[in-house]
Amino acid sequence: MQIRLDGHTALITGGSKGLGLAIAESYVESGAAVALVARGAEALEAAKARITGKFQGARVAAIAADVGTAEGCARAAAQAASELGPVDILVNNAGTSQRGPFMEVDDALWQADLDLKLFAAIRLTRAVWPGMQARGWGRIINVLNIGAKAPAAGGAPTAVSRAAGMALTKILAGEGAPHGILVNGMLVGIIESDQWVRRHAADPRGISWEDWKAEQGKAVPMGRIGKAEEFAAMATFLASDQGGYVTGTAINVDGGRSPVV
């Protein structure tokens, strides 16, 4: 089965590193134009150079914007459309893992987490939805985590904002289906990404990356942590016509780690 995205334009938040970058590369390889959105201009340019170096003729826009703000979301959506054409695939991937004991999470952290993970998805969807509806075709993928279904103690605020994102996914799927707009969630388990690279770097034991990955993989039924490319492959399928009868789902991409289907 060949999965192609020719003629489509995707906007990917958190697109300069990790899962966002892996999704961008997979989309470009499949024929899509891609707008990478992140806060760091230097990392964005490096990501753009990497993609255009790997794929001849790639159409890539690097957009420095803070999607944790209304202004940043509006600018990202407008610039993507201006540089590449109407956006018909939106991947809401921005976010970091914020968690701690409930009584230690203050209002500022709660608000920042909700702005970056939930309100960014709301605002960007609002920006691209009318065009998708007019064209009768659209794909929205909300990148969440398995804590959205099975939140653990100490999982706030991330588990709460991600659970809200899962509810948003279902609402949008129901409203979008009559217009050809399919909306799905992808729930991350332990997958190689920039966040896990940082966690390894912060480990005071100084063990190698490979040994550290093997250690983390023991908590996964498959016995290893996932690869960003594996996550990207599912995101590419969901964005394609081959995934044209899948909407309103929250798919665990976690090697079986979630206790909930």
**Is there a contact between 146 and 258 (Cβ–Cβ < 8 Å)?**
yes
The helix (H) or strand (E) run that includes residue 174 is: helix 158-176
Rg (CA), the chain: 18
State the pLDDT at residue 208.
94
**Is there a contact between 30 and 3 (Cβ–Cβ < 8 Å)?**
yes
> Is pLDDT of 20 > 90?
yes
DSSP summary character for residue 55: S
Q: Mean pLDDT across the stretch 65-79?
A: 98
CA dist., res. 229 & res. 18, Å (int): 10
> Is pLDDT of 79 > 90?
yes
CA dist., res. 6 & res. 29, Å (int): 10
The least confident of 4-18, 30-44, 50-64, 191-205 is 191-205
State the pLDDT at residue 193.
82
Q: How confident is the model at residue 1 (pLDDT cuts 50, 70, 90)?
A: confident
> Is pLDDT of 96 > 90?
no
> Is pLDDT of 199 > 90?
no
Phi, psi (rounded to 5 degrees) for 186: -120, 120
Domains of the chain: 9-189+226-252 (3.40.50.720)
State the pLDDT at residue 57.
96
Q: Mean pLDDT across the stretch 80-102?
A: 96
**Who's near 9: CB < 8 A, 6+ residues apart?**
32, 33, 34, 35, 80, 81, 84, 85, 86, 87, 88, 89
Using CA atoms, how far residue 188 sits from 83, 144, 146, 158, in Å, is 30, 6, 6, 12
Which has the closest alpha carbon to 48: 17, 82, 78? 17
Quick one: tokens of 221? 């039924």
Q: How confident is the model at residue 198 (pLDDT cuts 50, 70, 90)?
A: confident
Q: Mean pLDDT across the stretch 226-252?
A: 98
